[in-house]
Structure 1
Amino acid sequence: MITEKIQNMVKDLAMECQKNDVAMSLGAFDESGNVAVGQVGSKNQVETVIDIQLDAWVDSMENCGCSGCRNKLKELQDGDESVAKSSKVHSFVVNDAEEFLDVIDRIKRGEFQ
């Protein structure tokens, strides 16, 4: 559950990063579809942070080795559309913050169940 405390912590961290000229992209998502997101920096800076997060995510899947992670890695490497369609995982490509917020709103409304 994304509590008010979590939301405030994300907001406070974003404000602190902004004060110190630090780029940040942080997201928290619970099973009910509630989201807390904080992003600070230029589009290029935020994209760089997201790229770093994706690299870390792939590294963690490679180190895990469970069948779910192996299947997701294979999907990423092969670009296998059928695996993506059978999964509850959704990927989004967004071009700006407004589009990102629109996707978050759509997730909250349950459009990607």
Structure 2
Amino acid sequence: MSPKLIFLLGSLCLLVGTQVRAQDEEGADGIDANAEELCQDRPGDEYFRLSVEGDCRDVVRCDKASEIGVTRLATVRCPTGLAFDIERQTCDWKTNVKNCDQLESKQMSYFFP
């Protein structure tokens, strides 16, 4: 499979697989209550991990819903067999992803020294 096709597949998975949870719908891990803090000074198009535990498929991004004045976390899960490449900001074959131990992209980590 060509790299362009993999990239397009990963990008499509991100768009289709995005789910937004409102801040008042606190998840089992309690992260939604901290969405404002997690998203402070973070661009809305950056995907990042909340944990390095698990299979490297799950990431979140900040969704600053200006019309209702609430910051929420949009969750994304890559399809089975794929993992999220935090540096390239897309899903890719699990064997190609070497940064499952990173919470965020090194290119974007200037927000959090």
Q: Same fold (TM over 0.5)?
A: no
Which one has a bigger Cα radius of gyration? 1
Q: Is the strand fraction higher in 1 or 2?
A: 2
Task: Answer 1 or 2: higher relative contact order, Cα 8 Å, separation at least 6.
Answer: 2
Provide the TM-score with structure 2 as the length reference.
Answer: 0.30
